[in-house]
């Protein structure tokens, strides 16, 4: 153990300045592994935002997507006609009314578990899903 620490730390001189260096023999992650980790992290972040908004309950149920109602005008030969238009809100860069249900379905699928197995994640995908909802979605009865 001491030999490992002694061999991985050292010093070097560059332009008369002494600076410490670190040499680690562990292999670097591949780009595909880093991409898979980024996908999983983004999915957990989006799920946490959906849970904080309250459209995914702590039990995993998906509620309807929130909408804003805006007044629109349409000009016809009779004159202006007004009508109400429902516009879905933008939550975590998601515009669609089914994005949260698709994310929940992905976490429950075998593909999410396979991704977790490929990158060496210690937790199963379902446990990640329910622990994220537990911490960000409020109290479950």
Alpha carbon of residue 35 to chain centroid: 13
Whether residue 6 is predicted with pLDDT greater than 50 in this model: the reply is no
Contact (CB, 8 A) for 21 and 9: yes
Total-model pTM: 0.71
pLDDT of residue 44: 95
Residues whose CB falls within 8 Å of the CB of residue 7, separated by 6 or more in sequence, listed in order:
23
Query: What pLDDT digit, counting tens, does each position of 98-125 carry?
Result: 999 999 999 999 999 999 998 888 899 9
Whether residue 12 is predicted with pLDDT greater than 60 in this model: the reply is no
pLDDT of residue 93: 87
């Amino acid at each position: 153990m001491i030999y490992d620490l002694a061999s991985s730390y050292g010093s070097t001189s560059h332009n008369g300045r002494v600076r410490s260096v670190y040499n680690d023999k562990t292999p670097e992650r591949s780009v595909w592994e880093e991409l898979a980790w980024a996908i999983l992290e983004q999915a957990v972040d989006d799920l946490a935002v959906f849970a904080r908004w309250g459209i995914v309950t702590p039990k995993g149920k998906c509620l309807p997507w929130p909408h804003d109602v805006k007044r629109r005008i349409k000009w016809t030969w009779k004159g202006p006609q007004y009508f109400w238009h429902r516009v879905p809100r933008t939550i975590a860069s998601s515009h669609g009314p089914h994005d949260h249900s698709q994310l929940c379905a992905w976490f429950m699928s075998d593909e999410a578990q396979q991704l977790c197995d490929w990158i060496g994640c210690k937790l199963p995908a379902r446990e990640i899903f329910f622990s994220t909802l537990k911490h960000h979605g409020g109290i479950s009865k």
